[in-house]
Amino acid sequence: MVEYKYNSIDLFAGCGGLTEGMRRAGFKTRVAVELEAEPAKAFRLNHPDAQLIQEDIRAIDMEDVKKMLDGSPLHLLAGCPPCQGFSSVRKLNKRASVRDPRNQLVVEYFRFVEELRPQTIMMENVPGLADYYLFKKIVKQLKNIGYSIDTQIVNVKDYGVPQSRRRLVMVGSTLGPITVAQGLKSHTTVRDTIGHLPTPEETSDPVHKIVARHSDAIRRRISLTPKNGGSRKDLPPEYTLDCHKDTAIGFNDVYGRLRWDTISTTITGGCLNPSKGRFLHPEQDRAITPREAALLQSFPEDYIFPVDVRKQSLALMIGNALPPAFSFTQSENIANHIAAHS
């Protein structure tokens, strides 16, 4: 049983990866904000005590949020504003970011900080956000209103998450200088994470039973892909899809298998579809299941995901989540910082 010592708010909460990590570090999420219905459903299933505001963050009246806090101190305001226009895929190898209205949501994060004045703050995002003029402006504004700020680009693989995923982390404090928590550099493998699971046919877990269905031709291609790390490049030429025949284009990892004894590739919003990346099981002739994807995102095995939603929605909520193990390390670092200044 976790002992709650501090209060937090989770902005852009998704299915609850950030809140799960904060919970383990002793933060009680008093208020969370998530617009999309299906991630919000998953959040409620796992964090029923949090007051979830399911509406556009730009329409939220801060007085309503203050009423929800009911005079309690706010120790940490954390969030991951959607900034897909800065992702490496969306930028298409160009330095300029894709114009995406969601890029402006970092301003809403600052609005919450400015009006609620939490003791500490944390923001996680894609590395490309670091060069965005609005982000640079907000960092300057945060310093102007009394926050000590540190920003670093790190990889979640160094924090107990069994995948490679580079992220920008910003932490701030009104209590004194603070720095982003550093990783331990000890990596967890795919085998460590999902090697113990039964097959989808043998499991009683409804989330693990969900498997992508394919045509006979695709199933044949998957069966011919060498176990433990094979890829489409290992297939005989007659199995090369037309879209892959031009070697100058395309992503080499699509229809590739995960490797048992190393970390996974990044779990994305396409993680249940092998045409979107290296998302085939190391040995079994299938794509990974939502449970396996969630475990590779470091969610606990008993984390609840709704099974009455589209598979694509499950993939998006899992792939877009902040890995709880990473959130825990950063949140624990902040909890220790608060305790040291109490």
Nearest to residue 14, comparing CAs of 271, 333, 269, 275? Answer: 269
Percent of the chain with pLDDT over 90: 81
Q: Annotate 57-115 with DSSP letters as a single string.
A: GGG--HHHHHHHHTT----EEEE----GGGSTTTTTT-SSPP--GGGGHHHHHHHHHHH
Asked about 243 being catalytic, the answer comes back as no
Confirm whether 288 is domain-assigned: no
Average per-residue pLDDT for the chain: 91
Taking the CA atoms of residue 325, residue 211, residue 258 and residue 318 in that order, the dihedral angle to the nearest 10 degrees is -30
The mean pLDDT of 287-292, rounded to a whole number, is: 98
Residue 46: name the closest of 309, 299, 255 by CA.
Answer: 299
Helix or strand run (H / E) with residue 333: helix 324-340
Per-residue pLDDT tens digits for 179-215: 999 998 789 999 999 999 999 999 999 999 999 999 9
On whether residue 200 sits in a domain, the answer given is no
Considering only residues 242 and 342, tell me which one the structure prediction assigns the higher pLDDT: 342
Question: What does the pLDDT look like over 291-330, one tens digit per residue?
Answer: 999 999 999 999 999 999 999 999 999 999 999 999 999 9
Domain span at 82: 6-185+321-340
pLDDT at position 160: 95
Q: Are strands 76-79 and 148-155 parallel, antiparallel or unpaired?
A: unpaired
Helix (H, G, I), strand (E, B) or coil at 145: coil
Confidence of residue 53 (pLDDT cuts 50, 70, 90): very high
The CA distance from 12 to 32, in Å, is 8
Residue 223: inside a domain? no
Q: Which residues pair with 120 in a beta bridge?
A: 76, 173
Residue 251 pLDDT > 60: no
Where residue 91 falls among pLDDT bands split at 50, 70, 90? very low
Domain count, the chain: 1
d(CA 80, CA 337): 21
85 — phi, psi (to 5°)? -65, -10
155 inside domain: yes
* Burial class of residue 189, CB neighbours in 10 A (0-12, 13-18, 19+): middle
- CATH number where 114 lies: 3.40.50.150
pLDDT-wise least confident of 50-64, 249-263, 272-286, 298-312: 249-263
How buried is 60 (Cβ within 10 angstroms: 0-12 exposed, 13-18 middle, 19+ buried)? middle
Backbone Cα Rg of the chain: 21
The reply to whether 250 falls in a domain is no
Asked if residue 157 is part of any domain, the answer here is yes
Between 243 and 280, the more confident residue is: 280
Whether 114 maps to a domain, the answer reads yes
Phi-psi domain of 16 (left: phi exceeds 0; alpha: psi -120 through 50; beta: other): left
Is position 131 within any domain? Answer: yes
Give the whole-angstrom CA distance, residue 2 versus residue 46.
14
Across-strand partners of 257? Answer: 280
Query: One of 15, 83, 243, 271 is an active-site residue; which one?
Result: 83
Provide the whole-model pTM: 0.91
Length of the chain (residues): 342
CB 8 within 8 A of CB 22: yes
